[in-house]
């Protein structure tokens, strides 16, 4: 299995993808910030199924980190990342510098405004986060020019905003989500899990337990879903909930009489580590007589 081509500049990326663009091959992109794990590997496998050429970008994007957040401490494992990309048969790995992605400087860069959806949930806690996320994703789309891009559903609000950006700006790329990949004990895979001590890891399992308990009440209705989930999360030692909400597929409010598919979304701190998780919820009463 050949090692992927590593491109660190736009010129090198263009050279690596010139053949694919010339012969009409479809390009599938998996944007990442590195510290790759089995969840990323699942995204890569989906990308390989969706495109002829698989591209993984690895870039710790400074504009999505706010003051006091973990930009400098964010895990960086380039050698292990490249080894995973080779195992998963990635064709091209794009590993640009900050200067390559923000040639005019970060502070003076044009930024993408996420609109009202960027001010709720994670956006309320991290006011500049989604502006940075959408800006770097738009830049990657412009540089890589993928036909399809694959994102994990763990960052559900991020996925919804990227889909909205693509629609509103008329970007010619298909967005595909991949279900959350979990550890055997249920914890959603995340690069930030490396920050957790063994005790904190056990405490963090309350997030998935709360989501599962709430989702099991879907046939009863939205009020029961939220109450049950909060009952589990509120009693969990070591967990500091930020929010636990039930939304529709577009992050809209779910009224008490809502039926259909919804999403139970949670954010909480365990120790000093902020964790996200979510789970689909079917708010459809069972047929009469069952």
Residues in the chain: 290
- DSSP designation for 65: -
What does the alpha-carbon distance between residue 146 and residue 155 come to, in Å, rounded to a whole number?
21
Hey, CA dihedral for 118, 273, 185, 31, is it positive or negative?
A: positive
What does the alpha-carbon distance between residue 265 and residue 262 come to, in Å, rounded to a whole number?
10
Residue position matching structure tokens 């046939």: 219
What does the alpha-carbon distance between residue 193 and residue 276 come to, in Å, rounded to a whole number?
11
Starting from the edge strand earliest in sequence, which strands make up the sheet with 174-178, in order?
5-7, 92-94, 53-58, 27-32, 148-152, 174-178
178 flagged as catalytic: no
Tokens of 14: 């263009």
8 Å CB contact between 42 and 181: yes
Angular region, 56: left φ>0, alpha ψ -120 to 50, beta rest: beta
Q: Pick from 124, 131, 158: which is nearest to 251 by CA?
A: 158
- DSSP designation for 235: T
Q: Give me the catalytic one of 40, 129, 178, 179.
A: 40
Catalytic residues: 40
């Amino acid at each position: 299995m050949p090692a992927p081509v590593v491109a660190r500049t736009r010129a090198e990326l263009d050279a690596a993808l010139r053949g694919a663009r010339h012969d009409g091959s479809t390009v599938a992109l998996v944007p990442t910030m590195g510290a790759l794990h089995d969840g990323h590997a699942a995204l890569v496998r989906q990308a390989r199924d969706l495109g002829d050429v698989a591209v993984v970008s690895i870039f710790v994007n400074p504009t999505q980190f706010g003051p006091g957040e973990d930009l400098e401490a964010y895990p960086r494992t380039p050698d292990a990342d490249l080894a995973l990309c080779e195992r998963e048969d990635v064709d091209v790995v794009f590993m640009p510098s900050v200067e390559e992605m923000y040639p005019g400087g970060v502070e003076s860069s044009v930024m993408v405004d996420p609109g009202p959806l960027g001010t709720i949930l994670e956006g309320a806690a991290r006011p500049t986060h989604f502006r940075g996320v959408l800006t770097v994703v738009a830049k990657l789309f412009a540089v890589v020019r993928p036909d399809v891009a694959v994102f994990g559903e763990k960052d559900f609000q991020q996925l919804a905003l990227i889909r909205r950006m693509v629609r509103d700006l008329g970007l010619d790329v298909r967005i595909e989500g991949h279900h959350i990949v979990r550890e055997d004990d249920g914890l959603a895979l995340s690069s930030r899990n490396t920050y957790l001590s063994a005790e904190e890891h056990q405490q963090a399992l309350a997030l998935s337990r709360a989501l599962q308990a709430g989702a099991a009440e879907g046939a009863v209705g939205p009020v029961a879903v939220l109450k049950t989930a909060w009952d589990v999360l509120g009693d969990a030692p070591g967990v500091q909930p930020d929010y636990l909400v039930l939304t529709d597929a577009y992050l809209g409010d779910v009224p008490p009489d809502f039926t259909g598919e919804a999403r139970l979304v949670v954010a909480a701190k365990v120790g000093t580590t902020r964790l996200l998780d979510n789970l689909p919820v079917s708010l459809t009463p069972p047929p009469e007589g069952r």
